[in-house]
Amino acid sequence: MNTLRSVRGMAGLRRAVIAVYLKPVLCGGMADLSPVTAAGIGCARAYQSLQGVYGYKHQEPKSFTLPDEVIQQRKEESSLFRWISAFQEFGHLTADVNPIHPNTRQVPELEPELYGLSRDASYKPRGLVAGCDGTYTLQQLQDILKQKYCGHISVEFSNLPTLEEREWFANAVESLQDEVITPEERIRLAGDMLRSQAFDNFLGTKFQSVKRYGAEGGESTMGFFSEVFRRVAQEGVEQVVMGMAHRGRLNLLTGLLQYPASVMFRKMKGLPEFPENVKFIGDVLSHLTISLDMEMEGDNSLHVTMLPNPSHLEAVNPVACGKTRARQRSLREGYYSPDPDAQPGDKVVCLQVHGDAALGGQGVIQETLALSAVPHFDIGGALHVAINNQIGYTTPGERTRSSNYCTDAAKMCGMPVIHVNGDQPEAVVKAARLAVQYQRKFRRDVFVDLLCWRRWGHNELDNPRFTNPTMYHVIDAHRSVPDTYAEQLIEEGVLGREEAMKITADHMAFLTEQFKLADSTVPKAPHLEKQWAGLVQAPSSLQVWDTGVDSQTLQYLGAKSVEIPENFNLHKHLKKTHVEARLQKLREGVGLDWATAEALAFASLLYQGFGVRISGQDVGRGTFSQRHCMFVDQETAEMHIPLNFISEGQSAYLEVANSILSEEAVLGFEYGMSIESPNTLCIWEAQFGDFYNGAQIMIDTFISGGEAKWLLQSGLTMVLPHGYDGAGPEHSSCHMERFLQNSSSSETVPDGDDVNWCIVNPTTPAQYFHVLRQQMIRNFRKPVIVVGPKVLLRHPAATSTLQDMAPGTHFLPVIGDPDVNPDNVKKVVFVSGKHYYTLVGERKARGITDTAIIRLESLCPFPTPQINAELIKYKKAKKFVWSQEEHRNMGPWFFVHPRFENLCATKLEYSGRDVSEVPATGVAQFHKAEAQALINQTFAL
């Protein structure tokens, strides 16, 4: 056995085990644990937990009341107040925010006569409109309100959930006119846009046939990004995690984010973006990424990470949120901070960049927003900007959605929206400031809808005039925003004409030099740095990892997994069947069930210093009421997680993230957590295995190929309950055949650990224990798909002993048959999963002694050496059968059949259900008949 990584901390843990590890722990033992010591968080109440639940702490909202004089003024001027409120609510409908479609809409709610106001009277709006302390005619006041709410910036905030937020937002918007943009800031803004324009012009000359999704027509977004980075850095933010759309990506990378232009030009020439000494496939130009430190004003530094993304628009959103959350955890900020007053987002902020058609059409947006304030998913509010081209591919904006705006999904969760005219760069800067101010104060999501236009089609090779001639008549006559703004500054004397020309000339010269360097530039692969240092890319051979733990240590940890605080009112059924039963099994060291093995894996990893996070619907209890890693007091509803109280000074914790009823966003979030956290075991468990298909985009575009495309390793573990138990078509199969087909396993060459992911179908609790521990112990990270059990969770034969988890033990890719004499075997049946127990039981009932039953616990990587080691035992065997519960066109059959033949020189016969269009029947009678026929066929062959 080749143990390639030490088991950290185990020696110290063994010394810590005391003789009382098997004492009854139903009561007592927890009174001296303070919330800070126990959970690593402050004493603020965490939803139903006075002691604190790791990863979440509830902070009571601060009281907010309006000053008495303001209330009195609103009473006395109630009609005037209603009219002003109408501008706050409906002003956006008539605002001048569309640069290519003038707004001619009439909004009756804004007419003062509707509120009984007289145009001949004078009004004193003090306390009703910020900055208006005098006496005004109605016309003067109307002009002021139109300027504040119907100009180049308009807002939607009447849906905000609290009075404080609505009052703050109204005051902030009404004061926005007073925001000063200094001459230095204006020159910087012009420079950012001119350089972006120069970049697009350069590419148009050098790479005419390359799709580049330029920023032409939306250059003011560069001003938005620059302002956001500056403002958050001034607020003490240390890191920004970006999920970025295609449009303007290359401009932002080579402009503000200092991506080496020579490397980008290499990519445009068809050369790789990574060096030859790493294993990769690479990705398209519009998915390039960067992580860098930016030097900001005032000696501030801001680390910006732009995540890679697939072409499935908006899919990166939950991934960016998950990575943000994981980075907050690694910095111990927000919900992970020992400071009770800390808020999420103190140090790390998520910036999401959307396309308008995708924002209005992709459901992953709604799923991700639905996570925004959920415990264990809250990141303290993301900043969102929609680069609103007002067209989706060839579809006009009004046909890309049923709602008024592309940002209307924000209203679902009571988030404010700021609409801004992209032809007005200074308005864009002010919109960015307003968004940052709101996010920093309230730690909630905020959207900026930046309405601009697209100079070319969907990409530069597309002609948009085929389908949108009238729109492009307007666009063709539209002067560029950078040129217009630069000319404005020149006329005002802020910027010299030669200075403006020099900005463009210098950048063109820089790009020309970088273009010359493209062929000789050696790209870098920064994938194993910082927290990933010490890990490697998986080797092309199969390795064995010692994942065993001392039995006394496991007994101690197992007892801790069901220890509860004094006076905790545990449900009497759990007290008997979960707590007392587990303690009994631990004392005897045998009969350990699935949930116990999982708890032992979690606990041992935690004690070694690895974090554990399990996410999914109802994971605290477990879909099948098997896990119970989170106890709930039956009288107070207090929550308690025993594994976060293993020992004093505990440094790693279990985070139990009971999720919303979402698959795509939640799985994407967990993937984002995993690519940031190599030392945390991240698990996503589906309620039933087939529910994974709601997250198919995340699986196909991120999890299966993230390392090959972007060098991003992930140790994400997906647990997908599977098994034909008469549950009907929908809850029988996790469709393992789809994962197998999407694997990089070879039919002709033995697999190594460098397959894109591992697919296991464990049949014993100990095997599951080793799978989980192996995820953290080995020196590389790979996603693992666990074909999880349902009936095996409590199957009397599917148990393990402490010795099965002892030092020197490890995951067994193949489990042979110890119950037959190899010399008597004439038939060898290969099987994977819980079907093994059915066949073993039937073999015993029929008194069959010439048939061996061998389990494939690992399907990918395909365990060729272990299979051959088993086959050599059965020299008299003439028949070799593959038996499976699943239909012929499902399950492992089409995967294992060619590999047995090519790699093991063994031709298998098939035993299983015939082909079908659905996984299983919903008729109990049919199910029983099929199951019996399958058994008969297996032993008759």
**What is the rounded distance in angstroms from the CA atom of residue 810 to the CA atom of residue 889?**
32
Residue 802 has pLDDT above 70, yes or no: yes
pLDDT of residue 1: 41
**What is the rounded distance in angstroms from the CA atom of residue 78 to the CA atom of residue 807?**
77
- Residue 420: DSSP 8-state: E
Using DSSP, state whether 385 is helix, strand or coil. Answer: strand
Q: Which two tokens stand for residue 28?
A: 């007592």
- Specify the range with the lowest mean pLDDT, choosing from 277-281, 391-395, 693-697, 854-858: 391-395
Q: What is the mean pLDDT of residues 615-640?
A: 94
Residue 66 has pLDDT above 50, yes or no: yes
Q: What is the pLDDT of residues 83-122, one digit of tens each?
A: 999 999 999 999 999 999 999 999 999 999 999 999 889 9
This prediction has a pTM of: 0.94
**What is the rounded distance in angstroms from the CA atom of residue 106 to the CA atom of residue 104?**
7
Element (H, E) at 354: strand 348-355
Distance of CA 731 to the CA centre of its chain: 25
pLDDT bin (cut points 50, 70, 90) of residue 393 is confident
285, HSE (Cβ side, Cα atoms, 13 Å): 24
Q: Which two tokens stand for residue 684?
A: 């996503």
pLDDT of residue 38: 28
Burial of 848 (0-12, 13-18, 19+ CB in 10 A): middle
Amino acid making up residue 759: I
Residue 741 has pLDDT above 50, yes or no: yes
Residue 531 has pLDDT above 50, yes or no: yes
**What is the rounded distance in angstroms from the CA atom of residue 730 to the CA atom of residue 918?**
8
Strands (E), 143-276: 153-156, 239-243
Q: What b/e sequence results for 215-254 when a residue is b if at least 16 CB atoms lie within 10 Å of its CB, and e otherwise?
A: bbbbbbbbbbbbbbbbbbbebebbbbbbbbbbbbbbbbbb
Residue entry with tokens 């080691």: 869
Q: What is the mean pLDDT of residues 454-478?
A: 90
The CA-based diameter of the chain, rounded to the nearest angstrom, is 110
Peptide bond into 344 cis (omega under 30): no
One-character DSSP codes across 731-746: SS---HHHHHHTS---
CA distances from 36 to 479, 560, 580, 939 (A): 60, 19, 29, 60
What is the end-to-end Cα distance of the chain in Å, rounded? 37
Distance of CA 346 to the CA centre of its chain: 20
Q: What is the pLDDT of residues 197-243, one digit of tens each?
A: 999 999 999 999 888 889 999 999 999 999 999 999 999 999 999 99
> Which residues have a Cβ under 8 Å from the Cβ of 815 and sit 6 or more positions away?
763, 764, 767, 854, 855, 857
Q: What is the pLDDT of residues 149-190, one digit of tens each?
A: 999 999 999 999 999 999 999 999 999 988 999 999 999 999
Residue 34 has pLDDT above 60, yes or no: no
Distance of CA 608 to the CA centre of its chain: 26
Residue 261 has pLDDT above 70, yes or no: yes
Nearest by Cα to 203 from 145, 156, 250: 250
**Strands 417-421 vs 153-156: parallel, antiparallel or unpaired:** antiparallel
pLDDT bin (cut points 50, 70, 90) of residue 37 is very low
Provide the 10 A C-beta neighbour count for residue 507: 22
Q: What b/e sequence results for 9-28 when a residue is b if at least 16 CB atoms lie within 10 Å of its CB, and e otherwise?
A: bbeebeeeeeeebeeebeee
The average confidence (pLDDT) of the chain is 92
Residue entry with tokens 């190929």: 705
Q: What is the mean pLDDT of residues 238-253?
A: 95
CA distances from 503 to 68, 198, 226, 495 (A): 54, 9, 17, 11
Residue 51 has pLDDT above 60, yes or no: no
> Which residues have a Cβ under 8 Å from the Cβ of 94 and sit 6 or more positions away?
103, 105, 106, 107, 110, 150
**What is the rounded distance in angstroms from the CA atom of residue 353 to the CA atom of residue 387?**
7
Is 682 within 8 Å of 674 (Cβ atoms)? yes
Residue 44 has pLDDT above 80, yes or no: no
CA dihedral for 443, 449, 450, 455, sign (positive or negative): positive
Nearest by Cα to 387 from 436, 309, 310, 454: 454
Burial of 393 (0-12, 13-18, 19+ CB in 10 A): middle
> Which residues have a Cβ under 8 Å from the Cβ of 178 and sit 6 or more positions away?
131
Q: What is the mean pLDDT of residues 751-766?
A: 98
pLDDT bin (cut points 50, 70, 90) of residue 447 is very high
Residue 457 has pLDDT above 70, yes or no: yes
- Any idea what the Cα angle at residue 787 is, between residues 770 and 889, rounded to 5°? 145
Residue 47 has pLDDT above 90, yes or no: no
Residue 72 has pLDDT above 70, yes or no: yes
**Strands 391-392 vs 395-396: parallel, antiparallel or unpaired:** antiparallel
**What is the rounded distance in angstroms from the CA atom of residue 388 to the CA atom of residue 429?**
16
CA distances from 775 to 13, 324, 464, 670, 810 (A): 20, 22, 49, 15, 12
**What is the rounded distance in angstroms from the CA atom of residue 804 to the CA atom of residue 483?**
72
Residue 805 has pLDDT above 90, yes or no: yes
Burial of 793 (0-12, 13-18, 19+ CB in 10 A): buried
Is 413 within 8 Å of 89 (Cβ atoms)? no
Nearest by Cα to 772 from 811, 801, 741: 811
At 38, give phi and psi (nearest 5°): -75, -45
Q: What is the pLDDT of residues 569-619, one digit of tens each?
A: 999 999 999 999 999 999 999 999 999 999 999 999 999 999 999 999 999
Distance of CA 82 to the CA centre of its chain: 43
At 663, give phi and psi (nearest 5°): -110, -50
Is 538 within 8 Å of 783 (Cβ atoms)? no
**What is the rounded distance in angstroms from the CA atom of residue 649 to the CA atom of residue 74?**
56
Nearest by Cα to 677 from 925, 153, 934, 327: 327
pLDDT of residue 52: 65
Nearest by Cα to 251 from 289, 195, 294: 195
Contacts by 456-461 with C-beta closer than 8 Å and gap 24+? 456/214, 456/216, 457/394, 458/393, 458/394, 459/211, 459/212, 459/213, 460/204, 460/208, 460/210, 460/211, 460/212, 460/213, 460/214, 461/209, 461/211
Is 460 within 8 Å of 250 (Cβ atoms)? no
Provide the 10 A C-beta neighbour count for residue 596: 24
One-character DSSP codes across 645-689: GSSTT----EEEEEPPS-SHHHHHHHHHHHHH-TTEEEEEE-SSG
Q: What is the pLDDT of residues 582-594, one digit of tens each?
A: 999 999 999 999 9
pLDDT of residue 397: 80
Element (H, E) at 787: strand 784-788
Nearest by Cα to 306 from 369, 350, 264: 350
